[in-house]
């Protein structure tokens, strides 16, 4: 029961995370990095305080930590959205986009995109195995301790995952930019470098 309540508190964050990833990919494709960095640093600085307030001051314990995480992800999506709105980035043309900026042409050739995206979705779903462990922890003899330990394990797993996923995302954006410029050799070099860094 404890694990299911914990995961229910994380659900709003999952929805917000989809929005964050869409925003980040939109900006990275245009070689814009600073807005998401600034927002992430601000949210990361505030997150420990929010966890402390939710878990200890409000007395919500583990559920407070999950709620604080969901709220942090919500703050990230709102922060990036505010930047997009205030800077006009959403409607300004950039060198990696057609001269008219965003258009309905971006919605074409989706079957081709899905053939590439769906295998990636299946590969990233291995993360569910870790989440299943948190769920299973709720059925152990001491669910409070088990869920706490599994949550710490999941946090360590997340930290270890950040460097390779960051390299993969930046590598994919650079490969896409190079291919868009017609530089196949440059794209290959970026792919090799990202792969080596990811395994390093």
What are 79's two structure tokens?
């922060």
Query: Is residue 113 in some structural domain?
Result: no
Distance CA 17, CA 11 (A): 10
The pLDDT score that the predictor gives to residue 96 is 54
The pLDDT score that the predictor gives to residue 148 is 81
Query: Is residue 173 in some structural domain?
Result: yes
Tell me the whole-structure pTM to 2 decimals. 0.63
As a whole-number percent, the residues of the chain with pLDDT over 90 amount to 30
What are 45's two structure tokens?
């600085």
The pLDDT score that the predictor gives to residue 92 is 63
147 and 82 share a domain?
A: no
The pLDDT score that the predictor gives to residue 77 is 96
Instruction: Extract the residue ranges of the chain whose pLDDT is less than 50.
Output: none
Query: Is residue 82 in some structural domain?
Result: yes
88 and 14 share a domain?
A: yes
pLDDT digits (tens, 9 = 90+) for 55-85: 999 999 989 999 999 999 999 999 999 988 8
Structural domain boundaries enclosing 3: 1-97
The pLDDT score that the predictor gives to residue 73 is 96
Q: How many domains does the chain have?
A: 2
The pLDDT score that the predictor gives to residue 55 is 92
DSSP-based helix, strand, coil % in the chain, nearest 5:
80, 0, 20
The domain boundary residue, chosen from 97, 130, 163: 97
């Amino acid at each position: 029961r404890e694990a299911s309540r914990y995961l229910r508190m994380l659900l709003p964050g999952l929805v917000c995370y989809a929005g964050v990833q869409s925003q980040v990919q939109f900006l990275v494709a245009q070689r814009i990095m600073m807005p998401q960095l600034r927002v992430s640093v601000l949210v990361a600085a505030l997150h420990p305080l929010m966890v402390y307030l939710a878990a200890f001051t409000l007395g919500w314990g583990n559920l407070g930590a999950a709620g604080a995480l969901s709220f942090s992800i919500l703050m990230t999506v709102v922060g990036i959205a505010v930047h997009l709105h205030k800077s006009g980035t959403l409607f300004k043309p950039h060198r990696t986009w057609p001269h008219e900026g965003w258009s309905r042409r971006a919605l074409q050739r989706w079957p081709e995109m899905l053939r590439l995206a769906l295998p990636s979705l299946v590969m990233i779903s291995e993360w569910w195995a870790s989440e299943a462990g948190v769920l299973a922890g709720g059925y152990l003899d001491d669910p409070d301790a088990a869920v706490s330990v599994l949550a710490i394990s999941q946090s360590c797993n997340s930290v270890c995952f950040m460097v390779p996923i960051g390299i993969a995302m930046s590598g994919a954006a650079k490969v896409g930019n190079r291919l868009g410029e017609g530089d196949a050799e440059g794209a290959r070099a970026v792919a090799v470098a990202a792969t080596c860094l990811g395994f390093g």
